[in-house]
Structure 1
Amino acid sequence: MKNLRKAFPVLQQYIYLNTAASGPLSEKVFDFRQEHDLDFLVSGCILKEKQGEMLAKIRETVGGFFKCEPNRVALVPNFSYGFNTLLEGIESDKSFLLLEDEYPSISWPITSREFKTYTVSLSATLEEDIENALKNYNPDVFAFSIVQYISGLKLSIDFLKQMKQKFPDTLFIADGTQYCGTEIFNFDDSGLDVLLCSGYKWLNAGYGNGFVLFQEDVPKKIFPKTTGFNSLQGKYKAQEGNFLGKFEPGHQDTLNYGSLMTALKYLNEVNLEVVEEINKKLSVIAKKELTTLGVLDEIVVKRSHHSTIFNIKGDKNLYDHLRNNDILASLKGPGIRVSFHYYNTEEEIQELVKALSEYLKK
């Protein structure tokens, strides 16, 4: 197998267990960014004149990667921008179902608009609890992260598809920022109505880029008000009131969206089947080792499947101990969050276990 670590220079300096906070930049994306700005430097407005063509190619790349037609792919600078734009198109009397301790960029925009909300506690029986809440509350919208940013609890796409079939009148709006890029994903077959994602984590696309995927009937249910020059410009935004165009007012950033396209092409080179296989293996090994050490929450231990994000019991002293051992992680929620991607190794898990064991013996 090719060296999957070579493209990420930071991996030569650290045990990088912090993709859930910020995915490392690859040489491929770095090279694209240099070439793009060199083109801008020497050609000026000529580069801008090619913007529409480039943005169309980026949408096509995103759509091909996630199995969504490009006329249903909107490019946004980040999840929060796209989500707030989306919420502005939802009537104020609609109700929302949320998960407790959800990512603030989901919960805050909803509560700030004073939508009626119901919540589901995180537990080992999360899927059963979600189904009961959908049945009991009959919310207009279920907004959620596919993978929880603190605990790493993961909702399977099969489960979400089943719930959408059982509750077709509820809009399923998902944050894929902690999920997209970790395994094969087919949006059109997912049961999700809308998926939004920032590209700077598991896609390794750097900052300032993200996307919105939506099903064909969504424009009949959500009516964003955002508009501006370029909302009607381009190959996939021909008609007035175009839903995609509501997310793209003004001039768009081809440097950052081009970085997303480059990162997705690189993941295709690596092969997403390989990425998924490695991530599943890392998740199983890490969960087993961390469970043995007794540093995981009981909710995580009891669940049969999990992401590659784990929250370890500990404080800043442990965090500093890990950093002193060149292990990059995050202080997050009740403990220290570590996260593994396909460029991590079993040996690095063992290095983490060794550092934790040394600390726990103090």
Structure 2
Amino acid sequence: MRVHPAGAIDGAVQTCRVDLREALPLWEPTPGWLNTASYGLPPRPTVEAVRRALGEWQRGDVPWSVWDVSTGRARAEFARLVGVETDDVAIGAAVSQLLAPVAASLPAGARVVVPEIEFTSNLFPWLVRDLDVRTVPLDKVADAVDGRTAVVAFSIVQSATGEMSPVEDILAAARANGALVVADASQAAGWLPLDATRFDVLACAAYKWLMAPRGAAFCYVAPAVLDRIRPVAAGWYAGDEPGGEPHAYYGPPLRLAPTARRFDLSPAWFSYVGAAPALELLNAVGVERIHAHDVALADRFLRGLGLPPAGSAIVSVDLPGAAERLAAAGVRAAVRDGRLRAAFHLYTTDADVDLALNALT
């Protein structure tokens, strides 16, 4: 991946670093986009890659295996982003889909502790099973974990409010009581530095802060818990095929991959065609620099409203009529739980913040 003088980045996979200011021309947002917590905006290499693949599909120019190369690229880049081995990452289409096998592997009546504010993708997979699901306030999650707890499941950053969960406290309580730790990183990965090896399972939808098309999602499964989870959704893409064959399509015996690939779901090709260059660009810029940029803008927004900084790229404020005033000014944000939710990412600028503040103040 190279930055050219005009600001364009090609699609070659490289390990070079890209300055955030040089990368900014790769996005073309209409001013006022403060809604990455709903969906992220794709960089030009992602848009061009998807358009190219759609043309190939329309004409029948290439076999599907050409597009599937992007699945491997995206898997490797996500692993790099969260500090794990590539073989420990499974791919799918949605967080709930990737967490369902974890829930299905628990015995009936097993206790699962979840924050009461949790997004349903990390709640419904537990609720639809015959499990003892306990929902508690976010700041009480660690206290609710005891020797009867099989799993504690939570989002690292909460979707509704942008609050960062008390990860250290939860991890300490879970480890002390032998509970599995299942984290949803959909609102964290891409702007918050993460070490996924600290969790047993970490799932992430890629269409938000990873700026990929919807239909790509990733799941880290720690090797220590691999055999405790039954791959109940296994299909041809989860198979292990020795002898150089990428996949065998027909007949027994069961032959699952020995790694987290056994949890793979057949990929939505074009979603991964778009995900690969987006993730490569994120890693080239560096999540530490993105974190500093995003949080600085979010805190600037809060200070402009006379509120204290929160240290998160997602902010939630109670301002009656704020959504209507922002919409009238062309600022796109969201309302969650009756509060304005604004999100700031690497393509957000000071001008976007000023546009929102002018509308609100």
Q: TM-score range by the shorter chain?
A: 0.7 to 0.9
| 1:352 corresponding residue in structure 2 | 356
The 2-side partners of 1:234 and 1:43 are apart by 27
Alpha-carbon displacement from aligned partner over 1:230-252 (angstroms, at most 9, x marks no partner): 32156899982446344334x43
Classify the secondary structure of the residue corresponding to 2:25.
coil
The 2-side partners of 1:162 and 1:286 are apart by 34
Q: Is 1:175–2:184 an aligned residue pair?
A: yes
| 1:17 corresponding residue in structure 2 | 34
Q: Is 1:309–2:314 an aligned residue pair?
A: yes
Classify the secondary structure of the residue corresponding to 1:226.
coil
1:172-321 equivalences in 2 (<5 Å)? 172-188=181-197, 191-233=198-240, 240-242=255-257, 244-249=260-265, 251-290=266-305, 292=306, 305-315=310-320, 317-321=321-325
**Matching residue's letter, 2:40:** G
The 2-side partners of 1:54 and 1:206 are apart by 13
Alpha-carbon displacement from aligned partner over 1:72-104 (angstroms, at most 9, x marks no partner): 111111212212233222222211001012112
Paired residues, what number? 333
Farther-moved stretch of structure 1 (206-215 vs 280-289)? 280-289
Contact 1:39 1:47 in 2 (8 A): no
Contact 2:192 2:291 in 1 (8 A): yes
- Normalised by the size of structure 1, how large is the TM-score? 0.82
Once the two structures are TM-superposed, the CA of residue 172 in structure 1 deviates from its matched residue by: 0.5
Percent identity over paired residues: 21
- Normalised by the size of structure 2, how large is the TM-score? 0.83
Alpha-carbon displacement from aligned partner over 1:262-317 (angstroms, at most 9, x marks no partner): 11111123222210211232243333333x26xxxxxxx6xx854221222245x4
Once the two structures are TM-superposed, the CA of residue 228 in structure 1 deviates from its matched residue by: 2.3
| 2:64 corresponding residue in structure 1 | 48
Contact 1:98 1:119 in 2 (8 A): yes
| 1:155 corresponding residue in structure 2 | 165
1:95 to 111, 116, 135: 111
Unaligned runs of 5+ in 2: 1-18, 249-253
| 1:72 corresponding residue in structure 2 | 88
**Matching residue's letter, 1:346:** D
Contact 1:77 1:208 in 2 (8 A): yes
Classify the secondary structure of the residue corresponding to 1:352.
helix
| 2:145 corresponding residue in structure 1 | 134
Alpha-carbon displacement from aligned partner over 1:195-231 (angstroms, at most 9, x marks no partner): 0011110111121101111100112222232222232
Farther-moved stretch of structure 1 (81-90 vs 67-76)? 81-90
Contact 1:20 1:149 in 2 (8 A): yes
The 1-side partners of 2:298 and 2:186 are apart by 18
| 1:106 corresponding residue in structure 2 | 122
Residues 95 and 161 of structure 1, relative CA distance in 2, 3 Å threshold? closer
The 1-side partners of 2:336 and 2:54 are apart by 36
Once the two structures are TM-superposed, the CA of residue 5 in structure 1 deviates from its matched residue by: 3.4
Alpha-carbon displacement from aligned partner over 1:99-157 (angstroms, at most 9, x marks no partner): 012112222222222410222214xxx2xx3332224x641100111111111110265
**Matching residue's letter, 2:54:** D
Residues 341 and 68 of structure 1, relative CA distance in 2, 3 Å threshold? same
The 2-side partners of 1:141 and 1:107 are apart by 12
Alpha-carbon displacement from aligned partner over 1:6-27 (angstroms, at most 9, x marks no partner): 22212xx231110001111221
**Matching residue's letter, 1:177:** S
Contact 1:278 1:342 in 2 (8 A): yes
Classify the secondary structure of the residue corresponding to 2:24.
coil
Residues 237 and 143 of structure 1, relative CA distance in 2, 3 Å threshold? farther
